[in-house]
Amino acid sequence: MSAETAQAIEAEAKRLGFDAVGFALPDPGSQAKDNLRAYLAEGRHGGMGWMEDRLEWRMNPLMMMPSAKSIVMLGMSYAPKHNPQNDVSLPARVSVYARGRDYHDVMKKRLKALARWMADGWKADVKVFTDTAPLMEKPLAALAGLGWQGKHTNLVSRKHGSWLFLGSVLTDLELPPSKPERDRCGNCQRCIIACPTGAIAPYRIDARRCISYLTIESKEPVPADLAKLMGNKVFGCDDCLSVCPWNKLVPPTSHSEFAPRFDPPQNIGEWRHMDEEAFRKHFAQTPVRRAGHRRFMDNLDIAQKNAEAQDGR
């Protein structure tokens, strides 16, 4: 397969609305695999046992598609109009990624369209993924030249910052790998300093302390010492991303699907009083709904306590 095939796939991906496209071999590389093993061995994944369950799959995309020769890595920008750094005074804050339509749905639709186009045009074998399978999306996207993994561990693109959702198409087409981007974090420590719970060391995260994990993924009650540090965050956290210099000057997303589907509440009571049905309706089609009513109410209680403590009530 030739560079022209890759160019044609890139053009079609852009036409379908992807903002970033690149190609890599279906192998995240030995460094990424060693780092993943260390992350799990040190227990930094907390209660996300599913990361261990399919470790071999996660390290080797060929387990999911033995005929794969290449992976097409794709990104869609969800950059907000306003940097959320100043949202500290809101009664409750939902992270940027969860305010719009669920990216799994938005990306999947486009990934399937691209895969169908590749299958029709080249009789290619194809499989699509976006955070839906054990795949190391960030290292693969870095190898495909979409950006580099910043000190906060997320992928940073020179053009879109780290407000970039990732997805991929595994294929048996042989596509020439793109040139990886170099690390451009330099001496910057802003994300490390900004993390309220100290979850980040350069290029390493301890999910057990990450507010995103504590408010979304963890099945356990939030430990009291960490709850105090969560401030007004009730679903995910953007603190490490919002201070990143690479996120300052990026254009806002052009995808209307990622525009906020709900406003912040006037006061916590507004959301705290929602029953399960009202919650599902209010957060329909957004990632918040996936977290479930009970979990969200617990997070609101924490934000309420933090607000009271701050007011000296």
Q: Residue 55 CB, nearest distance to ligand B12 (Å)?
A: 11
Q: What are the residue ranges of helices labelled H in 144-238?
A: 190-194, 211-212, 224-227
Q: Taking CB under 6 A as the rule, does residue 42 contact ligand B12?
A: no
We find the least distance from the C-beta atom of residue 154 to ligand B12, in angstroms, to be: 4
Binding residue (CB under 6 A) for ligand B12 from 238, 286, 302, 303 = 238
Beta bridge partners of 74: 21, 167
Q: Is 47 exposed, middle or buried (CB count within 10 Å of its CB: 0-12, 13-18, 19+)?
A: middle
What part of residues 250-309 is at the interface with ligand B12 (CB under 6 A)?
A: none
**128 lies in the site for ligand B12, by CB under 6 A:** no
* CB burial of residue 179 (10 Å; 0-12, 13-18, 19+): exposed
The H or E element containing residue 144 is: none
Tell me, yes or no, if 131 is annotated catalytic: yes
Tell me which of 162, 197, 299, 304 binds ligand B12, using CB under 6 A: 162
Question: Shortest Cβ contact with ligand B12: which residue?
Answer: 236
- 57 is a site residue for ligand B12 (CB under 6 A): no
Q: How far apart are CA 143 and CA 51, in angstroms?
A: 21
Determine the interface stretch with ligand B12 among 6-14, 59-67, 150-158, 181-189 (rule: CB under 6 A): 150-158
Torsion of CA 264, 266, 267, 272, to 10 degrees: -60
Rounded to a whole number of angstroms, the minimum distance from the CB of residue 189 to ligand B12 is: 14
What's the rounded Cα separation, in Å, for the pair 93 and 81?
16
- Are 210 and 199 contacting, i.e. CB atoms less than 8 angstroms apart? yes
Query: Which candidate in 34, 53, 105, 131 is catalytic?
Result: 131
Alpha helices in 23-131 (DSSP H): 30-41, 50-53, 55-59, 103-122
Q: Which of 59, 170, 207, 222 binds ligand B12 (CB under 6 A)?
A: 207
Stretch that binds ligand B12, among 5-13, 161-169, 257-265, 274-282 (CB under 6 A): 161-169
Provide the token pair at 260.
């906020």
Among 236, 243, 247, 288, binds ligand B12 (CB under 6 A): 236
Q: Can residue 115 be called a binding residue for ligand B12 (CB under 6 A)?
A: no
Least separation in angstroms between CB 284 and ligand B12: 20
Residues 6+ away with beta carbon under 8 Å from 270: 91
Q: Give the nearer residue to ligand B12 in terms of CB position, either 5 or 291.
A: 291
Which of 6-14, 28-36, 61-69, 244-252 is the region at the interface with ligand B12 (rule: CB under 6 A)? 28-36
What is the Cα–Cα distance from 138 to 248, expressed in whole angstroms? 21
Note the residues at the interface with ligand B12 (CB under 6 A). Answer: 32, 35-36, 39, 48, 95, 97, 130-131, 135-139, 149, 152-155, 162, 164-166, 203-205, 207, 210, 212-213, 217, 236-238, 240-241
